[in-house]
Amino acid sequence: MHSKPYQTQSTIDILDPTRAQALQATLGQEPTIQSGDALPPFAHHIYFWDAKTPDVLGADGHPATGSFIPDLGLPKRMWAAGRIVQHQPLKAGIKAEKISTVEGVTRKDGQSGQLAFVRVRHDIKQRHALAVTEWQELVYRPADAPTAAPKPAPTVAAHSEPLNFTSTQLFRYSALTFNGHRIHYDADYARDVEGYAGLVVHGPLLAHLMMQLATTLYGGLTDFSYRGASPLIAGEAATLCASDGHFWVRGEDGRLCSSGQIAAA
């Protein structure tokens, strides 16, 4: 259980344009990003890998809790929510530093049982200037926690496009972000251990696509928040939707999987 003070860690990376091109290809885009180009919002998730040796990984494939992320006695991790404030675009090909701090833990009783939210803040600097501030909300739940009761997604959208993730796409996104969580690429583990209907689409991948759509529809993005409502499963015929600065992903059965919004100016 947690007893130490929360930690801060610094990670340095050179934002390799080849990796940004691999992300573009994974998302079905022409790989165009070159050294010196602005990276799309959220693309920094493919950098600053937390590459630990196998002996310090937990059963789920993430670095075990009790080090940077405190051990709260609840093993089942999900990506709950996040917010990104972009002060200026990160540039490909240039060294950057990410300073990460656990800001705090909040325990709640949800309809699905115990929830422990861990809030992590990341400040990313390039050439000594702050480029991105990001807050990530991770939630930890009991091993046998059920899937949360589904909530309906809005049915009317000004813009909508189909989304359907293959296991190959999920594997490639896990590889690009060096995210070892087995729910994204090990179907037996996802079903038999964490109780999902299949491979789970990464919350950050849905956030990336919502932000990409926000940028296409409204131009430069400075402040975006999002929240996961229900896990999206690989192979589901989902829909990415937008209306009036609000974005959401609807599952095949009409449930809300994820939602996001541009902050009011």
Ligand X SMILES: C/C(=C\C(=O)SCCNC(=O)CCNC(=O)[C@H](O)C(C)(C)COP(=O)(O)OP(=O)(O)OC[C@H]1O[C@@H](n2cnc3c(N)ncnc32)[C@H](O)[C@@H]1OP(=O)(O)O)C(=O)O
Show the site string, 238-257: x = touches ligand X by CB under 6 A, - = not.
--------------------
Compute the least distance from the CB of residue 238 to ligand X, in Å. Answer: 12
Longest CA span, the chain:
49
In the three-class reduction of DSSP (H, G, I as helix; E, B as strand; rest coil), residue 206 is classed as helix
Report if residue 80 touches ligand X, rule: CB under 6 A. Answer: yes
- 8-14, strands of its sheet edge to edge: 8-14, 95-110, 113-126, 129-141, 76-86, 223-228, 256-262, 246-250, 238-243, 159-163
Q: Among the candidate windows 64-72, 91-99, 109-117, 152-160, which touches ligand X by CB under 6 A? A: 109-117
Which one among 36, 110, 154, 254 touches ligand X, defined by CB under 6 A?
A: 110
Cα 126 off chain centre by: 22
Which one among 44, 45, 202, 250 touches ligand X, defined by CB under 6 A?
A: 202
Report the alpha-carbon angle 147-193-144, nearest 5.
45
Is the CB of residue 249 less than 8 Å from the CB of residue 240? yes
Which one among 17, 41, 75, 228 touches ligand X, defined by CB under 6 A?
A: 228
Compute the least distance from the CB of residue 135 to ligand X, in Å. Answer: 11
Report if residue 148 touches ligand X, rule: CB under 6 A. Answer: yes
Place of tokens 């196998």: 54
Report the alpha-carbon angle 190-192-194, nearest 5.
50
Report if residue 139 touches ligand X, rule: CB under 6 A. Answer: yes
Residues 14-73 that bind ligand X (CB under 6 A): none
Compute the least distance from the CB of residue 178 to ligand X, in Å. Answer: 10
Cα 242 off chain centre by: 19
- The sign of the dihedral angle between the CA atoms of 181, 187, 189, 192 is positive
Q: Among the candidate windows 66-74, 94-102, 108-116, 246-254, which touches ligand X by CB under 6 A? A: 108-116
Report if residue 168 touches ligand X, rule: CB under 6 A. Answer: no
Q: Site residues (CB under 6 A) for ligand X?
A: 77-81, 108, 110-112, 115, 137, 139, 148-149, 179, 181, 200, 202-204, 227-231
